[in-house]
Amino acid sequence: MANIESLINRAESILERLSAYLPSIQQDVDWNALAWRWQIMNGRGCLQAVPHPHQIKLEAICNVDAQKAEVVRNTAQFVSGFPANSVLLTGARGTGKSTLVKALLSEFAKDGLRIVEVEKQDLVALPEIVSLLRARPERFIIFCDDLSFEATDPGYKTLKVVLDGSIATTSDNVVVYATSNRRHLMPEYMAENLETQYVGEEIRPGETSEEKVSLSERFGLWLSFYAFDQDEYLTVAAYWLSEYGIAEMNDEVRRAALTFSLTRGARSGRVAYQFARDYAGRQALANQKSAS
C-alpha cells in the first residue's frame, strides 16, 4: 500500500513539472471588457479582464500639452485604421506618462480602443498575445509601464520582434505604448565607451551601444517628459484641489503645497495630486470635527 502511494506521489510530481512545458491553453476571454492584464495562472498565460479600469480625462493631465497632442493624434490615426506608430514616453517620474496612456481609454474607447497591460517579465509572451488579438475588430494598445531591461532579460528581444516584425508581419490592430525613465531602456556602462571608434572626425559607437539603442529606435514616436518648475507644480495642485471642491489657491494653500513638495523632494504631477488629496482630506476632517 505504501509503495502505491509513493508511486502516485511521484507521478503527480512529474506531471506538475511537465505541465510547465505543455502548450498554453487560453481561457475564455471577456471581450466585453475595456482593458486586460496578461496573467500567469497555473503556469499558463491568459488575458484577465480588468473590471474597473482607471479612467481619467485627458484635460486632467496638465503641463504636457505638446506631448499629449502628439499621443492623441497618433492614437486617433490608429483607431481610425490609418498608419500609426508605437510610442515610447520617457523622462522624469511623476510627470504623467502612464496617466496619459490610461486617459486614452476614456477618449477613444467609444471608437474601439482597448488596452492590454503587460508586465516586463511577461514580455516573452508578446507573440502569443498578439496572435490572440490579431483577428479581433477592436484596436489594441499593449501597455508596458516603467519599462527597462538588464542585458540578460529575455523580453528585450521579444519586444524588438513585435515592434519591427520578424518573418511574420506585425498586426495592424496592435501598437505598443511604453513608459520608462530611461530613453535607451537598458543600462549603459563606462566600459562600452572603449568600443567607440574614431575615424577621422567621425565617431562610431561600438556594437554594444548600437544594440542597446536599437530597441528604442523601433518605437516610431519618442516623447520626452521633464520635471515641473514651481509654477507648473502649483497649477496641477490647483486643478486637483478644485476637483476636491477647494476652488481658491490662496497664500496658505500655496505655502502648504510648496512645503509638501519639499518633504517629497520633487515637484511633479504625482506629488501635486498627492498633496491635493492630503490637503482636501485634512480640511474635510477638520470641518467634521468642528461641526460635531
Output phi, psi for 238, to 5 deg: -60, -40
Q: What percent of the chain has pLDDT over 70?
A: 72
Please give the average per-residue pLDDT across 31-57, as a whole number. Answer: 89
Please give the average per-residue pLDDT across 74-86, as a whole number. Answer: 95
Q: What is the pLDDT of residue 168?
A: 47
Position 276 pLDDT exceeds 70: yes
Position 210 pLDDT exceeds 80: no
What confidence category does residue 154 fall into, taking pLDDT thresholds of 50, 70 and 90?
low
Give the length of the chain.
292
What confidence category does residue 110 fall into, taking pLDDT thresholds of 50, 70 and 90?
very high
Q: Which regions of 120-248 does DSSP assign to beta strands (E)?
A: 139-144, 174-180, 197-199, 202-204, 221-225
pTM exceeds 0.85: no
Position 250 pLDDT exceeds 80: yes
What confidence category does residue 147 fall into, taking pLDDT thresholds of 50, 70 and 90?
confident
Closest by CA to 38, choosing from 120, 99, 103, is 120
Q: What is the pLDDT of residue 98?
A: 92
Position 180 pLDDT exceeds 50: yes
Q: Are strands 202-204 and 197-199 parallel, antiparallel or unpaired?
A: antiparallel
Q: What is the pLDDT of residue 266?
A: 87
Taking a C-beta distance cutoff of 8 angstroms, is the pair 158, 126 a contact? Answer: yes
Please give the average per-residue pLDDT across 201-225, as a whole number. Answer: 63
Q: Which regions of the chain does DSSP assign to beta strands (E)?
A: 35-41, 44-49, 87-91, 113-117, 139-144, 174-180, 197-199, 202-204, 221-225
Copy the grid coordinates of residue 264: 517629497
